Structure 1
Amino acid sequence: MRSYVSVCALLFLITSIAYGQTSFTENSFLKTENSIIESAADSGHHYTLLEAVKAANLDKILNEDGPFTVFAPSDMAFRKLSKVNLKELLLPENKKELFSLLTYHIVAGNITASKILKALCNGNGKASFTTVQGDKIFASMDGLDIVLTDKAGNKAKITSADANQCNGIIHEIDSVILPNSLSAANLP
């Protein structure tokens, strides 16, 4: 047990340093006075997410309310989904499914990478977080990377962490994760 705690402490220190170096330093993500929506728009690589957020009428909430932690798929992450599925999800008749997908990437509160790591250490390498959609996402480590997993086994790595905003935190992820109500086979 003592050795596991030591490993967690070392992992926490190393990962905090690593994520500190790979956070959103290139863009306005460092402007903590910006909202989640404003910073995502300024990032230059969340256009698909913004289009989906607007189609699901979540833009006002993510622009004003909070705090929220958003696991934000990049444009590249959305390209991993079938283009047909994404286009269909953006149609007005699929608003409910799109809303479910997007809210599965949002957790209430400010959950920093260090809080995720602490939860992982307390959970012997596993942690879960309940999204505002209602389903859980699961966190684990793969080397020095924090990896999120949905119930279907889809994985997304946090590629850039801890972009603090006036109404929450953004963590960029490299894949889109899916709630229980949607799976790769069930997407419209």
Structure 2
Amino acid sequence: MSALRTLIVLAAGGMVLTAPVQAKPQSATPAASRTIVENAAALPDLSTLVAAVKAAGLVNTLNGAGPFTVFAPTNAAFDALPAGTVDTLLKPANKQQLTSVLTYHVVAGRVTAADLARQITAGGGTATLTTVQGAQLKASLSGSNVILTDAAGGTATVTTADVPQSNGVVHVINKVLMPAA
């Protein structure tokens, strides 16, 4: 599987979502002229994701032309995993498993919140997203929130939608999604 196929781009498009956003210092503000990895590295709340992307060897891919849609779990999302999960995934011996988890958060193409809302409506309340990892995520709405459901039935909520990148779009999520074992 190529590095491009192993990227996880999580798509949350179709509906314009609003979420409270705390002011960040100018240096930590994402810039539409930077890539997904460059912007993520500038945001302290995505440092665990950046460390995982580096450990999986996906930096060059996510810095590539794309476009990609990434559903980016926050540090708190990684912290909510069972004790030891992140440390285990970051070990070199588990690079393939880490890559699978990360690429499960990536969808090829630029999928905005409005795009995803249209897909959910057209799908009768659910949209199916095929990730770069090759498996599927389900997207639905709960009120005005986009909810992603993984293979195990776990759910994540898009907390910040439509963060523009030079090579795609990022939607910040509150949980880590897990592909089928």
Give the TM-score, by structure 1 length. Answer: 0.83
Residue equivalent to 2:160: 160
Residue equivalent to 1:7: none
> What is the CA-CA distance between 1:124 and the residue it aligns to?
1.1
Residue equivalent to 2:179: 179
Alignment deviations for residues 3-49 of structure 1 (CA, whole Å, 9 cap, x no partner): xxxxxxxxx7xx52x43x657974422x1101000111112200000
Residue equivalent to 1:111: 111
Higher relative contact order (CA 8 A, sep 6+): 2
Specify the code of the residue in structure 2 equivalent to 1:63. Answer: N
User: Which stretches in structure 1 are left out of the alignment for 5+ residues?
Assistant: 1-11, 182-188
When you count helix as a share of all residues, which structure comes out higher? Answer: 1
Residue equivalent to 2:49: 49
Residue equivalent to 1:28: 29
**Does the CA-based 8 Å contact 1:72-1:171 persist in structure 2?**
yes
CA distance in 2, matches of 1:103, 1:23: 26
Give the TM-score, by structure 2 length. Answer: 0.86
**Does the CA-based 8 Å contact 1:24-1:161 persist in structure 2?**
no
**Partner SS, residue 117 of structure 2:** helix
Q: Percent identity?
A: 41
Specify the code of the residue in structure 2 equivalent to 1:62. Answer: L
Higher-Rg member (1/2): 1
Q: 1:165 to 1:23 in 2, by over 3 A?
A: farther
Task: Name the Cα RMSD after superposition.
Answer: 1.6
Instruction: Find runs of 4+ consecutive structure 1 residues off by over 3 angstroms.
Output: 21-27
**Partner SS, residue 159 of structure 1:** strand
User: Which stretches in structure 2 are left out of the alignment for 5+ residues?
Assistant: 1-13
> What is the CA-CA distance between 1:109 and the residue it aligns to?
0.2
**Does the CA-based 8 Å contact 1:141-1:147 persist in structure 2?**
yes
Residue equivalent to 2:5: none
> What is the CA-CA distance between 1:64 and the residue it aligns to?
2.3
Q: 1:163 to 1:122 in 2, by over 3 A?
A: same
